[in-house]
Amino acid sequence: MCGLKPIIAPSILSANFINLGSDVTLLFLNQCDWIHIDVMDGNFVPNISIGFPVLHQLRTLLVDKSKYFFDCHMMVANPEQWVATVAEYGGNQYTFHLESTKDPKNLVKLIHAHGMRAACALKPQTEIEQVLSFADQLDMVLVMTVEPGFGGQSFMPEMMSKVRKLRQLYPKLDIQVDGGLGPETVNVAAEAGANVIVAGTSVFKAKDQAKTIQTLRDAVVRHTSKL
Ligand SMILES: O=C(CO)[C@@H](O)[C@H](O)COP(=O)(O)O
């Protein structure tokens, strides 16, 4: 019994933006734990997605607005710049990319000072050694399993060695995987030690969304309970 909480966080990048409010409401009715909000600035990654007006409207306009957990994945060039805004607009967790900051330790302090959980993301080429000096200050590490920037890419199983090493070093840390996750790939990730699963395409294209979310959660529970 490892005590890790299974967390399923659908990425709303794959939602229907015309019906975003109802899509997000449905995700929570279907028992997701968090929604994963991919903020892309067209600079850190070669794509522009959604920004603060959308975050703000989701937080203020949704029914039961306060109970939703917003996991904000900041694929931006200057992550320090947006901490206060994300906090003000209702973000619960702020994930910055290690590759985008010179001072990750102070950034973690800044995020915590704004009342959010702090997480650090690693692109596929970034080794975990770079996060070890401050990992004990983090609430979560995100191991990217695709190059950040787009949904619908293929899962990179070779990233699992990073998850495995992190899990050995930090048995209680939340470890998130993001990119190409679905019922076919979740077992490999959960077996390596990931307990927080981001899934965009597989959840939004599912015939039965509730069942897909449950399948993802069951896989995490099954594998992490053996750790
Ligand atoms: O951060 C990203 C992409 O940069 C992800 O959150 C993707 O949006 C996940 O989408 P799928 O790979 O599950 O379709």
Please tell me if the CB atom of residue 57 comes closer than 6 angstroms to any atom of ligand 1.
no
Q: How many angstroms is it from 178 CA to the middle of ligand 1?
A: 6
Q: Is 91 annotated as a binding-site member?
A: no
Q: How many angstroms is it from 155 CA to the middle of ligand 1?
A: 10
| Per-residue pLDDT tens digits of the chain, which is 227 residues long | 478 999 999 999 999 999 999 999 999 999 999 999 999 999 999 999 999 999 999 998 887 777 899 999 999 999 999 999 999 999 999 999 999 999 999 999 999 999 999 999 999 999 999 999 999 999 999 999 999 999 999 999 999 999 999 999 999 999 999 999 999 999 999 999 999 999 999 999 999 999 999 999 999 999 998 88
Alpha carbon nearest to ligand 1 atom 7, residue: 151
Please tell me if the CB atom of residue 107 comes closer than 6 angstroms to any atom of ligand 1.
no
Please tell me if the CB atom of residue 179 comes closer than 6 angstroms to any atom of ligand 1.
yes
Tokens of 97: 């990319």
Q: Is 56 annotated as a binding-site member?
A: no
Domain 7-224 maps to which CATH number in 3.40.50.1100, 3.40.47.10, 3.20.20.70, 3.40.50.300?
A: 3.20.20.70
Provide the pairing of β-strand 196-199 with 174-178: parallel
pTM over 0.80: yes
ipTM: 0.98
Distance between CA atoms of 117 and 111, rounded to whole angstroms? 7
Could you please report the per-residue DSSP string of 78-134? Answer: -GGGGHHHHHHTT-SEEEEEGGG-S-HHHHHHHHHHTT-EEEEEE-TT--GGGGTTT
For residue 56, what pLDDT is reported?
93
For residue 6, what pLDDT is reported?
97
CB 167 within 8 A of CB 175: yes
Please indicate whether residue 136 is annotated as part of the active site: no
Ligand 1 atom nearest residue 147's Cα: 4
CB 164 within 8 A of CB 144: no
Q: How many angstroms is it from 122 CA to the middle of ligand 1?
A: 14
Distance between CA atoms of 227 and 225, rounded to whole angstroms? 6
